[in-house]
Structure 1
Amino acid sequence: MLDPTALYRLRDGAYATDLIIAAVCDDLFAWLARHGPVPAAGLREAMGWAERPADVLLTLCAAHGLVDRFVEADDLVSVSDLARWHLTHETSFDLRPYFGSLAERPAVAEFAEVLRTDRPAAWASAAGERDWSGRLDDPRFAQRITAAMDARGAFLAPSVARALHDLPIERLLDVGGSSGIYAMALLEDRPAATATVVERPPVDEAARTLLAERGAGGRIDVVTANMFADPWPPGCDVHLLSQVLHDWDLARVERLVQRSFDALAPGGRLVDVDAHVDGRRTGPRPVAEYSALLMHSTPGKCWSVTELADVARRAGFAGVEVRDCAADRSALVFTKPA
């Protein structure tokens, strides 16, 4: 099989250029050339931007070499030489009019609004639609999203299973597990293990159908539940959150991680599989580009390893182990102290 990582990046980075155009049209780099280096908080205040979308934008700009960012030093941000030469008035090679010619792209205006309000735009910029989470109540949209997540998992799930091959699993809880494709992969080489997928309706029915069609219905059951409000099934030694946390804001990320800690027995593990930003929040570029899509259409973003490690530590977990998967994803393994 050929490696499809380039295709994942093509899809996941679909909104990144529009976010850069929005920043150029807002004259971010000219402002930084006049005032930087400046703490990110001061930059946000001056530009009138909310914290979450501004963080995603700065990570994307850093990944493309347009700003220099130092989170370890009050999150200082300054314009890079590349941006100073080509995205400010300071030289005759100013490309702002070139970028500005695309300012009327719909997603550019959507990003300008998200930056100011922190309210996600419609999924895929669909006109007049509810937000992404609300649309999951529509069976047709839920079926399309479940099919998309299942297609994504066909390559990713086996890589997650390889990365976690030595992790003992007797009973897996796959929270927000969509089609159950990751649970299936993790159980493949563990003949005695079983799993439960937690999903909301109508995704739960799609998961049951797919698991039955694939012959996994006897080992993997599906529980219909709201992962934020309903009790999590007990007796599981590993909880899996696969590309779930990136859909939610910090408060709800903290809630999910805390719920996992509270439901696990001592020695149990929480595994977060996702595209993770590095600790300096400057990349990697494919993850920073994917984060732009998530920031546009959900309340979330690609969280950094450091951010999630801090959330897990506050919940009570001890340390974090990082394991590389495929297509710019990694698995973070958190252990509840015995």
Structure 2
Amino acid sequence: MYESAIQPPVVDPTPIFELFRGSYGSELLTAAVAHFDLFGCLSERPMTLEELGDQLGLQPRPANVLVTALRAMDLLQQRDGKLCLTALASEHLVPGSRLDCGDYLSLAAQSPGVMSMVDLLKSNKPLGAEGDSGTAFIYRDGAKSAMDAEASARHFTLALAGRAKNVAPALAEVLPIGDAETLLDLGGGTGIYSYALLQKNPQLAAVVFDRPDVLKVAQEFAETYGVTDRVELHPGNMFADPLPQNVDAVLLSNILHDWDVPECKQLIRRCVEALKPGGRLFIHDVFLNDSLDGPLPIALYSAALFSLTEGRAYSEAEYRSWMTEAGLASKAKVPTLVHCGVIEGVVK
């Protein structure tokens, strides 16, 4: 008897993920107070994100992650394109002010988590990076990566299955696959999202494209869900190797948030090139507000992504702009589960 990939959870697991990621809020806030004097800087004058990043010695990606979290905490706000303090931060986080709480927060300034976050913010490199080209939980050609070693790739891939098993039924329920017959799941990992779509849509066949050691796990799940006769496991480098062509649909599920903006645009372009006329690209991911001021759970998840990958969380507006640039007409986001949603783009 095969397992179901489309049976949804009885209880929404979202609070568990929010609690798990909560520590990033403490680390970012303490780093801002005790290591970067961010609130002292902004108490002197409002600044643009670029100006503040320069003042703090932060590159655009870490500056974005830090400021987005602080805005989501209602400690920073934006007026006329410049960042300034909220009333909460003005009264309680400006050094030397009568009711300053900064010294209390600084009690954690030397804790391992905070020190690690400070190093990540300053270096703009993920945990496990070696030199200028190392990576931790993503694969980059020519760099040592946990995703290209069998034991670590297996461990991380199985860990991600804990979320995928819960979210895949919701994705299969709302994804408008229609009469599509071929799906390319780029960076598909365990394949669970594809396998849910296969169980939901009997006419569909899927290609799961990922690293060879990751696909060993995908093969096991294909057997568990009884879809081995409708799935092809395709090993390769999604940035460099040829992709299957003339497919009806491409799925990027929780992939783009691993990469910086140039790589995101490159992947979207490659997906469009793989689609047949009228084909569809589905971006399934988490989404920041278009104003980049929350929601707080996504801002903290963005910090987690920043720590482990070369990416961060992006807004719906950012994704839509890249889709438009690649020649896609995008449709409204549809929510799935655990803060995720899916945007459909159609080849014009």
How does the TM-score come out when normalised to structure 1? 0.93
1:239-254 counterparts in 2 under 5 A?
Answer: 239-254=250-265
Asked if the contact 1:199–1:225 (Cα under 8 Å) also holds between the matched residues in 2, the reply is: yes
Asked if the contact 1:30–1:84 (Cα under 8 Å) also holds between the matched residues in 2, the reply is: no
1:235 equivalenced with 2:241 (yes/no):
no
1:1-338 counterparts in 2 under 5 A?
Answer: 1-25=10-34, 26-36=36-46, 38-69=47-78, 73-74=80-81, 76-89=82-95, 91-122=97-128, 131-133=136-138, 134-165=145-176, 167-337=178-348
Q: Give how far 1:89 is off.
A: 3.0
- Give distance in 1, aligned partners of 2:177 and 2:92: 50
Q: Give how far 1:167 is off.
A: 4.2
1:8-28 CA distance string (max 9 Å, x none)? 212234423211211111111
- Give distance in 2, aligned partners of 1:300 and 1:112: 17
Q: Give how far 1:278 is off.
A: 1.2
Q: Secondary structure at the residue paired with 1:177?
A: coil
Structure 1 residue ranges without an equivalent (≥5): 124-128
Asked if the contact 2:198–2:227 (Cα under 8 Å) also holds between the matched residues in 1, the reply is: no
Q: Secondary structure at the residue paired with 1:188?
A: helix
How does the TM-score come out when normalised to structure 2? 0.90
Decide whether aligned partners of structure 1 residues 195 and 277 sit closer, same or farther in structure 2, where only a CA change above 3 A counts.
same
Q: Give how far 1:121 is off.
A: 2.3
- What letter corresponds to residue 120 of structure 1 in structure 2? P
Q: Secondary structure at the residue paired with 2:84?
A: strand
Q: Give how far 1:320 is off.
A: 3.7
Asked if the contact 1:156–1:326 (Cα under 8 Å) also holds between the matched residues in 2, the reply is: yes
- Give distance in 2, aligned partners of 1:184 and 1:18: 37
Q: Secondary structure at the residue paired with 2:94?
A: coil
Q: Secondary structure at the residue paired with 2:229?
A: coil
Decide whether aligned partners of structure 1 residues 147 and 310 sit closer, same or farther in structure 2, where only a CA change above 3 A counts.
same
Q: Secondary structure at the residue paired with 1:146?
A: helix
Corresponding position of 1:126: none
- Give distance in 2, aligned partners of 1:79 and 1:228: 41
- Give distance in 2, aligned partners of 1:283 and 1:83: 17
- Give distance in 2, aligned partners of 1:168 and 1:9: 36
Name which of structure 1's ranges 142-151 and 166-175 shifts more when overlaid on structure 2: 166-175
- Give distance in 2, aligned partners of 1:265 and 1:290: 34
Asked if the contact 1:110–1:296 (Cα under 8 Å) also holds between the matched residues in 2, the reply is: no
Asked if the contact 1:211–1:217 (Cα under 8 Å) also holds between the matched residues in 2, the reply is: yes
Q: Give how far 1:90 is off.
A: 5.5
- Give distance in 2, aligned partners of 1:276 and 1:256: 18
- What letter corresponds to residue 33 of structure 2 in structure 1? V
- Give distance in 2, aligned partners of 1:14 and 1:309: 30
Asked if the contact 2:126–2:135 (Cα under 8 Å) also holds between the matched residues in 1, the reply is: no
Asked if the contact 2:209–2:235 (Cα under 8 Å) also holds between the matched residues in 1, the reply is: yes
Query: Could you say what the CA RMSD is over the residues aligned between the two structures, in angstroms?
Result: 1.7
Asked if the contact 2:333–2:341 (Cα under 8 Å) also holds between the matched residues in 1, the reply is: yes
- Give distance in 2, aligned partners of 1:11 and 1:100: 22
